[in-house]
Structure 1
Amino acid sequence: MEKLYNYFPAELVTFVLVTLFSLLIGLNQRKISLKREGETTLFGTDRTFTFIGILGYLLYILDPAEMRLFMGGGLILGLLLGINYYVKQAQFHVFGVTTIIIALITYCLAPIVSTQPSWFYVMVVVTVLLFTEMKRTFTEIAQQMENDEIATLAKFLAISGIILPMLPNENIIPEVNLTPYSIWLATVVVSGISYLSYLLRRYVFRESGVLVSGVIGGLYSSTATISVLARKSRTAQLNEISEYVAAMLLAVSMMFLRFLILILIFSKDVFSIVYPYLLIMAVAAAASAWLTYARDKHRQKAGQPTSEEESSSNPLEFKVALIFAILFVVFTLLTHYTLLYAGTDGLNLLSFITGLSDITPFILNLLQGTGGVATLVIAACSMQAIISNIVVNMCYAIFFSGARKDLIPRILGGFGTVISINLLLLVIFYFIW
């Protein structure tokens, strides 16, 4: 929008923008107020908000340096709004102050448009319009929130915005690339992805079916999601089995995307090498899920919401963060001394062994450059650890499903296809690089 000033007078462009934005806010506020309060307590009309914006602009340009007129007009407007609020409260028992705040924001549009870049004042107007419309949405979210939900958010903000910046970035052990900052940074990134998955599962896809549970759960933990789905599949009907297996494979597909995000955050060099392979792996897992799901043409949709055990799990519990931090330290030391005494061959063996547990600490440890590992070695070990973990997840799926006979062939077929394609891609990776 700044280019308009090259063709038209700045005063004209600012006046038109302030008038247009004020009118939009007034139209939106009039609609909302009529719906909630009625004509009796309505504070002006859409024209009122338009004139408030114009008044703010006129008083601002008359004294742009000292802004005495603008501040005086704001005081008078605030007084009038206060009287209006008093009358509504005393006679009609209407206590909301949203309209007052919006009117004051509208009055402030003139100096904002005149002094700030276009993206900023457009963002202000869009925020006002959206938040005015979303009262019912916020009410529904507040009703769904558990008692400790705000405390969970506060914990996440504390570990990411308070603790992380305070930690030193110096090696704890000489010659071992392990610092308090790197340990907590890895924990914060994983917790952030987990927390986003938790919010999506709880508030966006609350009544989702089995397939969506696999997609969202895979962003948090494919192993945990597969374990839960496998336990639920014990009591599933025969025509629902394919849906549960497909959901497990979708969790694996999302695991690849999750690691793509982590690799991009911590090492763009590794990402530039490994992203085609991980994308193909994700697509292969998703395709295998679709084929498994489409096998039963006469199935009935399970359509069950996530179990209470799954939906109420909190990814930010201190115990979980502590376990992850401990695993990160353990794998950092293992990687360092494996490279020191066994070299790259030992690290390759270690990457397969780590698939028996949580592979995220191991991969993040490699991405942060422990021991000066070559980029190609990091990419190869990451892929090997992921393949090993998929094999373990397949075993978990069979075990937690109670080794159900009609489920095992589908699990072996779906997971076996994904593992075979991943091994083929790993061979191609070694052949190319």
Structure 2
Amino acid sequence: MAQEPLFLVLVALALGMLIGLQRGWHERHTRAGGRIGGIRTFGLLALSGAMAALLAEPLGPGITIGIGIAAALLLGLAHWLDSRDDQDFGITTVVAGIVTYLLGAMTVLTDLSLPVAIAVLTTIVLHFKQALHRALEHLSDHEIRGILQLALISAVLLPVLPNETYGPWDALNPYEIWLLVVLIAGISLAAYFAMRLAGPDKGVIITSLLGGLASSTALTLSLARMTSRLPLPRLLACGILLAATIMYPRILLEVAVVNAALLDALWLPMGAMALGCAAGAVWLWRTREPFGNLDTSQLITEPFQLMPALQFGFLLALIMLISHGIKAHMGEQGLWLVAIVAGLTDVDAITLTLARMARDTISQDTAVTGITLAAITNTLVKGGLAFFAGHWALCKRLWPGLVLAVALALLTLFLT
């Protein structure tokens, strides 16, 4: 026990030197004595924070606060003197020094895992300055707005919602409903930026794979509409099948978050449908038409928007209410009808609803069958969209893969 304070002080010193290593490397071309702090200064800042925290017990917490203020003033003075010479008014190093002092105090006052994690994250943020600045330069106004709106619904609205059931049959839990909205919105936003990073010049295939993560139905409609301008039905049908292929792992991901116990039974039908669509896509890719560079920027969906999130939340609540009502009056098998109807427009809402209900209200077999029926319906809807928005040349290449996926899914339902 006598060595414990020494160990904590050494950890604080190591964390400070880690941050100082990055700061020193960043300003490695600055003349000697021309930078505010490096590996030694930051190591000593963390060391002083740890010592101040140790002195807080015999001398009171004021000593920790006083030394922290003194350290901040010294850093501010050094920055002011330095900025007069090079006209660099950035305060990143000053803020990093204050964080380092606080980390040193935290090594004594809290569990070590927290200051260690913060030190690593701080070093990463400091090191990727150029990458972060380049990312900001390329973000548009609506992309920033999408990020902020996602932060609003997740970090501001979600914590204040009541985590208890309301309404008929205790079907509605505001916190759980909104948590599922945040999940879907987060997946869509991640897919949008993945498409941005891949770039539209990568072609229909990559865009279809990433677009399927956001909304395979929306991407199907976009590709079907392109057939009037691009005489490439095999390539476009291949893209639709790839987007559909991604839908089934996305369903498994959503279920894993809500009720992982369903995965043992659900992976087989979802895997079978993914295999069917993937097989059709590979066949079409091997026999595709020749094509040049295609501009697929129109396939990149919008980033997260607040109104669609509210609409999805309303749809999710409505399906939950209807599902619990049908279960109360018609039994669990009545939910299969709800799944089929819901799959006509959106597979995510019914997937999340049935996965949630399977935790305490319905059997796992009912939930798995319902989710599979919704996926089958949504798969067939893609064929209908291709027919109405595209033309026969697209449909006759697309439908075999979709029919194969549906047949494999029905086979797994009958055999299990």
For Structure 1 versus Structure 2, the TM-score category normalised by the shorter chain is 0.7 to 0.9
Preserved CA contact (<8 Å) 1:253 1:281: yes
**Once the 2 structures are TM-superposed, how far is the Cα of residue 126 of structure 1 from its aligned partner?**
0.9
Contact 1:177 1:369 in 2 (8 A): no
Residue 396 (structure 1) aligned with residue 396 (structure 2): no
CA contact (8 A) 2:387 2:395 kept: yes
Structure 2 CA distance for aligned equivalents of residues 312 and 221 of structure 1: 9
Whether 1:375 aligns to 2:382 is no
Question: Equivalent of 1:292, from 284, 293, 306?
Answer: 284
Q: Which residue of 2 aligns with 1:306?
A: 297
Which residue, 229, 242, 256 being the options, matches 2:248? 256
Alignment match, 2:204: 210
Structure 1 residues 302, 396: closer, same or farther in 2, change over 3 A?
A: farther
TM-score w.r.t. length of structure 2: 0.84
Q: What's the counterpart of residue 353 of structure 2?
A: 365
- CA change 1:428–1:117 in 2 (3 A) is same
Any conservation in 1 of the 2:242–2:277 contact (CA below 8 Å)? yes
2:221 touches 2:389 (CA, 8 Å); kept in 1? yes
Show the counterpart of 2:105.
Answer: 111
Change (3 A) 1:409 1:372: same
Identity of aligned residues (%): 23
Give the root-mean-square deviation of aligned CA atoms. Answer: 3.4
TM-score (norm 1): 0.81
The partner residue of 1:270 within 262, 276, 291 is 262
Secondary structure in structure 1 of the residue aligned to 2:141: coil
Unaligned runs of 5+ in 1: none
Letter in structure 2 aligned against 1:198: Y
Partner residue in 1 for 2:413: 426
CA shift in 2, pair 1:337/1:139, >3 Å: same
DSSP 3-state at the match of 2:297: coil
Counterpart of 1:352 (choices 330, 340, 355) is: 340
In structure 1, C-alpha distance between the alignment counterparts of 2:327 and 2:186, rounded to whole Å: 30
Cα separation, 2, equivalents of 1:11 and 1:316: 51
Q: Distance in 1 between matches of 2:334 and 2:10?
A: 69
Per-residue CA deviation, residues 216-258 of structure 1 (Å, 9 max, x unaligned), is 22222110011112223443364xx544333322221221122
Q: Displacement, 1:329?
A: 4.7
Q: Write the distance in 2 (CA, Å) between the matches of 1:323 and 1:59.
A: 53
Residue of structure 2 aligned with 1:172, choices 167, 172, 180: 167
Contact 1:210 1:302 in 2 (8 A): no
Give the whole-Å Cα distance in 2 for the aligned partners of 1:26 and 1:418.
56
Q: Kindly indicate whether the alpha-carbon contact (under 8 Å) linking 1:249 and 1:414 is maintained by their aligned counterparts in 2.
A: yes
Is the contact between residue 41 and residue 92 of structure 1 (CA under 8 Å) also seen in structure 2? no
Secondary structure at the counterpart of residue 27 of structure 2? helix
Pick one of 106, 109, 117 that aligns with 1:123: 117
- CA distance in 1 between counterparts of 2:318 and 2:234 reads 38
Within a 5 Å distance, the mapping from 1:4-403 to structure 2 comes to 9-34=3-28, 41-58=34-51, 60-61=53-54, 64-65=57-58, 66=60, 70-164=64-158, 165-167=160-162, 169-173=164-168, 175=169, 177-178=171-172, 180-181=174-175, 183-202=177-196, 204-207=197-200, 208-236=202-230, 238=232, 241-296=233-288, 299=290, 302=293, 304-307=295-298, 310-311=299-300, 313-318=302-307, 320-332=308-320, 334-336=322-324, 338-339=326-327, 343=331, 346-369=334-357, 372-403=361-392
Contact 1:14 1:114 in 2 (8 A): yes
The change in CA–CA distance for 1:286 and 1:372 in structure 2 (over 3 A counts) is same
Instruction: Give the letter aligned to residue 106 of structure 2.
Output: I
